Amino acid sequence: MSTHNLLSGFQDFLPESMLARNNLVSVVRGCYEKFGFLPQDTPCLERTELLTGKYGDNEKMIYSFEDHGGRRVSLRYDLTVPLTRFINMYINNIVFPYRRYQVGLSWRADKPGKGRFREFMQMDADIIGDESVLADVEVLTLMASAMEALGVRSTIRFNCRQILDSLVEMCQLDSETSVSLMRSIDKFDKIGQAGVLAELAGIGFSPGIIDKVGDYLKITGTNAEVLQGLTRLLGEAGAFQTGIALLSSITDLLAVQSHSLVDFEIDPTIARGLDYYTGLIFETRFVENPEFGSVCSGGRYDRLLKRPNGEFLPAVGLSIGIDRLLAAMKSVGKAPVFKTTTQVFIANFDEKLSSEYLKLAGELRQAGVAVEIFSKQSKIAKQLDIANKKYIPLVVLVGPDEISLSQVLLKDMRAGVQITVQRDQFVPAVLERLGLNNHPLAV
């Protein structure tokens, strides 16, 4: 196999893809910071023992190896588990509740698929040291804010661990069998109710239990109707009152907010990561392409992070897979499209005029405009063709004649028009042409 082939599940990013990816990161980061979350970072490599025992069956997807010092190390599987070390090391430097966000790559030896890669960028936001329902709602609202900032119509579906525990209790299942049940329910979006029940029958679940699970999966409707249906079916279970109170409180608090592009739905089929989550669990998908699956997930995990004295720290958070999000946005025609960051291209008539070109570029850059100077003297037609291929909107044309007349020619590549401006009006003219005439440095 050629050494020039990509490893399966990994990606190269051409400039257009990187610009789109960077835009998503910038938009989401802005939302995180608007909600008071602070940035942090951790290394991509951790000691293997830190990561093991946290991911259940998914542990086999951790990339692990022995380093040159004979230590077992692993590439991080996500941005959450490394928090256990981070919190323990810096407990005296952190003010709780701690709102943190992190942007970084993670690695999983997963089977590549639609929007699923072995190396991918995640953006996590977590509230640590706060067990309140309001913290849960803040994370859900943050997710809604990010989706609206991206301009994508979305549905955030949520459930809680205690409701699922109530189903397990009603079915009188042991811990091992309950894991099999939850794995099957978690496939509901892909295989539907009939598929889930058929899978349970194949595993060996009794007809009585399958009937109960079927009744559970039939609970749909408005949030109020789902709460009523859950109460009728699971109301006698010990964990139920805690679960129904949580879902009711979240629903009430979400109802006082207005989100034009996002709906919140209680969904009993959300059953992800029960070896990890302890309360709220949620997933986000696009209304225009729900089959793509979740682009963001999260929930409450109160038994993962600890203080140095062993005391658990309550926590709730979300994780966005940026590469998966970008793939999903492409699937609904909402991905950001950028061809360049350059706004002005300065053509090179004569290398002897380099000092003037540098002056022009410096003035524009001082005004916040991105400028590229063509460094070699060549045919102007060739330079214009290069600027056009790079999708640069404006070209500055200054040769000896323009210098002598104290003028600058501006060619708008989008409109195909050319205008002449006086040298002392050069910067304002460029800003106006770019639609930046309200820029703080505009004169």
Residue 376: give its domain's CATH number.
3.40.50.800
Q: What are the structure tokens assigned to 140, written together? A: 């859900």
> Whose structure tokens read 């952190």?
94
Question: What are the residues facing 73 on neighbouring strands?
Answer: 47, 65
pLDDT of residue 305: 92
With beta carbons less than 8 A apart as the criterion, state whether 424 and 363 touch: no
Total structural domains within the chain: 1
Hey, is 440 helix, strand or coil? coil
Q: How far apart are CA 423 and CA 78, in angstroms?
A: 54
Is 216 a domain residue? no
Q: How far apart are CA 52 and CA 416, in angstroms?
A: 60
Q: Where are the alpha helices (DSSP H) in 186-239?
A: 188-203, 207-217, 223-234
Sheet with 119-128, strands from edge to edge, namely 38-39, 98-107, 119-128, 315-321, 296-300, 280-286, 154-160, 262-266
With beta carbons less than 8 A apart as the criterion, state whether 348 and 357 touch: yes
Is 415 a domain residue? yes
pLDDT of residue 4: 77
Q: How far apart are CA 34 and CA 37, in angstroms?
A: 7
In terms of residue numbers, what domain contains 403?
Answer: 344-433
What is the per-residue pLDDT across 135-180, written as a single tens digit (0 to 9) for each?
999 999 999 999 999 999 999 999 999 999 999 999 999 988 998 9
Is 76 a domain residue? no
| End-to-end Cα, the chain, rounded Å | 59
Is 326 a domain residue? no
Full-model pTM: 0.89
Is 261 a domain residue? no
Q: How far apart are CA 39 and CA 29, in angstroms?
A: 9
Q: How far apart are CA 137 and CA 269, in angstroms?
A: 20
Which amino acid, 223? N
Is 169 a domain residue? no
Give the CA-trace dihedral at 191, 196, 202, 204, to 10 degrees.
160
Which amino acid, 335? A
Q: How far apart are CA 24 and CA 321, in angstroms?
A: 11
Q: Which of these, 145, 124, 130, 122, lies nearest to 98 by C-alpha position?
A: 130
Is 52 a domain residue? no
Q: What's the CA angle centered on 315, arms 33 and 110, to 5 degrees?
A: 85
Hey, is 320 helix, strand or coil? strand
pLDDT of residue 57: 76
pLDDT of residue 2: 65
How many residues are given for the chain? Answer: 443
Burial of 151 (0-12, 13-18, 19+ CB in 10 A): exposed
Please give the average pLDDT of every successive group of 10 residues along the chain, which has 443 residues.
81 93 96 98 96 83 94 95 93 96 95 86 97 98 97 97 94 89 91 94 93 96 96 93 96 93 96 82 96 94 91 96 94 92 95 95 96 93 94 96 95 94 96 74 35
> Whose structure tokens read 């600027």?
387
Dihedral sign for Cα atoms in the order 209, 187, 254, 136: positive
Is 413 a domain residue? yes
